[in-house]
């Protein structure tokens, strides 16, 4: 029986060693280049911040061919090195030398690895417990957060049922209800803790500068058939609308005859930032348009995306400007007014529409002034800008001891495009793991089940994928207790099969922007 020659040769191994050494030096150089950022992070997060920078350096390269070479040699392909990058590279180099019949005490690196495999897992668990609270023996690793309906202010048994079903955190959205109701929700959850003998943390979201449409105005008397029974006005592909500052009267403007609709907006500050050619989306991306003309207080939009039968646009619908670098502050006057309440009662604060590092610094400064520098901070990644700056945002947030990331998939899908949303949410999970920062999987998880009592097949698959995050957020609905029970069961089953993810390492644009410093931070928000 003949045996084939070994698949690899000494020359080939030497070439792979050369590539790995190049990778090692690039990773170390990136840490040294960002020493000024590392010097500012909280001591508890220092080693994790180092690893985040290592991962950004690693993922700035296209490693797919190298992965195949390593796999063919029977060596780790670097595909799941998020939490311990430098140690993985060092170990691969040692193994490659062993394939040559040589041994080395350590690779020719200058820096000590911050984590090995076991330390990386332990650090993520430690940070997850610090942010979300300790779990009881036998509980799922993945926590469950539930958005509170106003009913939770008066319905104590509802909170008991939710906690018995497996809820670990309540979410209060300060865009809804009033402080008196928020306080009643918190009082009820504290009583429910005593009754169930379970801990439940309080997460409170800042409302942030949410850009919305006010009530649209039909400008053409010959188009009244567009008005739907719910008051919204139907738009079609090719229509023109004027987006306008609320203090202006559209009938006093000299507009082209083809303009069908006037759409006042809640944040007139946007008019100084938009440019001709920028895209604009309404109502979670159901309607899309492009800006064709602008002035200092209104702009014209040509609709390029709507249903064939038309899509209605009504009041209070969200607006996204994914290509516009908005200069408005991520902390609004309402947010500043709400922060004393949050500082007094919350375990975690959620930062809505955060976009740049200076936004994070403003929140940190305010929380310190309120005597709560210890509060957990969760950055909600819901804009393209926030995703582009995510490594910078994380390194700034890691000046605090407890940090998390929420993947706000609704707005994010509109901002980055629905086709790319699945890819982006994966990248966010990878970056979180590299920083040992717990992630929250949010938006429409078991949404139909919570509202209608019956989940769709795709919702079950989505919930199973969500178990790779450290926390899953459910929205409110009349069947929310059943939804929590179902989610807990799905998570329990999936945790037997998987932990985190595996993948091939094409270069990430977010990493290349960080490493090559091709992001030019816009002017600070006002």
Residue 418 confidence class, pLDDT cut points 50, 70, 90: confident
Are 31 and 50 in contact by the 8 Å Cβ rule? The answer is yes
Whether the pLDDT of residue 159 is over 70: the answer is yes
Q: Which domains does the chain have, with CATH numbers?
A: 10-115 (no CATH), 125-209+329-493 (3.20.20.60), 217-320 (2.40.33.10)
Whether the pLDDT of residue 526 is over 60: the answer is no
Residue 504 confidence class, pLDDT cut points 50, 70, 90: low
What is the end-to-end Cα distance of the chain in Å, rounded? 77
pLDDT of residue 466: 87
Alpha helices (H) in 346-439, listed in sequence order: 357-369, 384-388, 390-397, 409-416, 418-434
Residue 200, C-beta contacts closer than 8 angstroms, at least 6 positions apart: 133, 163, 167, 168, 169, 170, 189, 192, 193
Q: Which of these, 337, 318, 329, lies nearest to 356 by C-alpha position?
A: 329
Residue with tokens 């290592």: 54
pLDDT of residue 521: 57
Mean pLDDT of 192-200: 96
Give backbone dihedrals phi and psi of 365, rounded to 5 degrees, phi first. Answer: -65, -45
- Region of 218 (left: φ > 0; alpha: ψ -120 to 50; beta: rest) is beta
Whether the pLDDT of residue 415 is over 70: the answer is yes
Whether the pLDDT of residue 94 is over 60: the answer is yes
pLDDT of residue 511: 84
The secondary structure of residue 226, as a DSSP letter, is G
Whether the pLDDT of residue 519 is over 60: the answer is no
Residue 79 vs residue 334, higher pLDDT: 334
As given in the structure block, the two tokens for residue 386 are: 């926030």
Residue 498 confidence class, pLDDT cut points 50, 70, 90: low
As given in the structure block, the two tokens for residue 84 are: 């311990």
pLDDT of residue 135: 86
pLDDT of residue 1: 39
Mean pLDDT of 327-353: 96
Residue 345 vs residue 108, higher pLDDT: 345
Are 176 and 143 in contact by the 8 Å Cβ rule? The answer is no
pLDDT of residue 507: 81
pLDDT tens digits, one per residue of 420-446: 988 999 999 999 999 999 999 998 899
d(CA 440, CA 265): 30
Mean pLDDT of 381-407: 96
Whether the pLDDT of residue 9 is over 80: the answer is no
Mean pLDDT of 399-408: 96
Residue 474: which H helix or E strand, with range?
Answer: strand 471-474
* Mean model confidence pLDDT for the chain: 92
Whether the pLDDT of residue 414 is over 80: the answer is yes
Are 273 and 324 in contact by the 8 Å Cβ rule? The answer is yes
Mean pLDDT of 290-315: 97
Residue 522 confidence class, pLDDT cut points 50, 70, 90: low
pLDDT tens digits, one per residue of 65-80: 999 999 888 887 788 8
pLDDT tens digits, one per residue of 165-184: 999 999 999 999 999 999 99
d(CA 297, CA 395): 37
Whether the pLDDT of residue 235 is over 80: the answer is yes
d(CA 17, CA 373): 46
Whether the pLDDT of residue 3 is over 60: the answer is no
Whether the pLDDT of residue 2 is over 70: the answer is no
Percent of the chain whose predicted confidence (pLDDT) is above 70:
94
Q: Is 7 exposed, middle or buried (0-12, 13-18, 19+ CB in 10 A)?
A: exposed
pLDDT of residue 410: 87
E-assigned strand segments in 185-257: 201-205, 217-218, 233-235, 240-244
d(CA 204, CA 305): 35
Q: What is the pTM of this model?
A: 0.90
Alpha helices (H) in 453-500, listed in sequence order: 457-466, 480-495
Percent of the chain whose predicted confidence (pLDDT) is above 90:
79
Are 382 and 414 in contact by the 8 Å Cβ rule? The answer is no
CB atoms within 10 A of CB 459: 20
């Amino acid at each position: 029986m003949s045996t084939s020659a070994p698949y690899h040769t000494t020359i080939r191994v030497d070439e792979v060693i050369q590539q790995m050494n190049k990778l090692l030096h690039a990773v170390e150089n990136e840490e040294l280049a960002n020493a000024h950022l590392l010097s500012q992070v909280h001591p508890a997060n220092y080693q994790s911040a180092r690893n985040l920078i290592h991962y950004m350096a690693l993922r700035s390269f296209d490693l797919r061919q190298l992965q195949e070479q390593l796999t063919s040699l029977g060596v780790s392909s670097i595909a799941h090195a998020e939490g311990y990058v430098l140690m993985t590279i060092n170990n691969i180099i040692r193994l490659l030398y062993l394939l040559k019949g040589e041994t080395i005490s350590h690779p020719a690196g200058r820096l000590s690895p911050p984590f090995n495999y076991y330390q990386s897992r332990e650090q993520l668990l430690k940070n997850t417990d610090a942010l979300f609270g300790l779990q009881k023996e036998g509980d799922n690793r993945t926590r469950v957060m539930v958005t509170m309906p106003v009913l939770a202010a008066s319905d104590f048994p509802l909170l008991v049922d939710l906690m018995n079903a497996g809820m670990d955190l309540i979410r209060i959205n300060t865009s809804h209800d009033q402080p008196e109701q928020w306080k009643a929700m918190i009082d009820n959850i504290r009583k429910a803790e005593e009754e169930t003998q379970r801990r439940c943390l309080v997460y409170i979201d800042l409302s942030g500068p949410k850009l919305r449409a006010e009530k649209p105005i039909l400008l053409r008397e010959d188009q009244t058939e567009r008005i739907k029974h719910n008051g919204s006005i139907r738009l079609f592909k090719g229509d023109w609308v004027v987006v306008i500052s609320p203090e202006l009267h559209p009938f006093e403007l000299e507009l082209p005859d083809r303009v069908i609709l006037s759409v006042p907006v809640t944040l007139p500050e946007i008019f100084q930032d938009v440019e001709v050619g920028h895209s604009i989306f309404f109502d979670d991306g159901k309607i899309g348009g492009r800006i064709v003309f602008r002035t200092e207080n209104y702009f014209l939009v040509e609709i390029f995306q709507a249903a064939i039968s038309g899509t209605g646009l009504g009041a209070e619908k969200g607006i996204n400007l994914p290509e516009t670098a908005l200069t408005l502050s991520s902390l609004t006057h309402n947010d500043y007014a709400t922060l004393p309440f949050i500082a007094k009662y919350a375990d975690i604060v959620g930062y809505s529409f955060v976009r740049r590092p200076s936004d994070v610094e403003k929140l940190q400064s305010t929380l310190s002034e309120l005597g709560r520098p210890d509060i957990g901070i969760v950055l909600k990644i819901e804009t393209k800008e926030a995703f582009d700056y995510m490594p910078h945002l994380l390194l700034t947030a890691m000046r605090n001891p407890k940090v998390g990331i929420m993947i706000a998939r609704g707005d994010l899908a509109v901002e980055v495009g629905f086709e790319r949303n699945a890819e982006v949410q994966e990248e966010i999970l990878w970056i979180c793991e590299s920083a040992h920062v717990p992630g929250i999987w949010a938006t429409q998880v078991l949404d139909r089940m919570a509202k209608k009592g019956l989940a769709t097949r795709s919702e079950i698959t989505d919930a199973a994928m969500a178990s790779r995050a450290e926390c899953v957020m459910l929205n409110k609905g009349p069947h929310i207790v059943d939804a929590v029970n179902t989610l807990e069961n799905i998570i329990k089953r999936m945790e037997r099969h998987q932990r985190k993810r595996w993948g091939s390492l094409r270069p990430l644009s977010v990493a290349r922007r960080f490493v090559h410093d091709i992001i030019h931070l816009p002017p600070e928000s006002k």
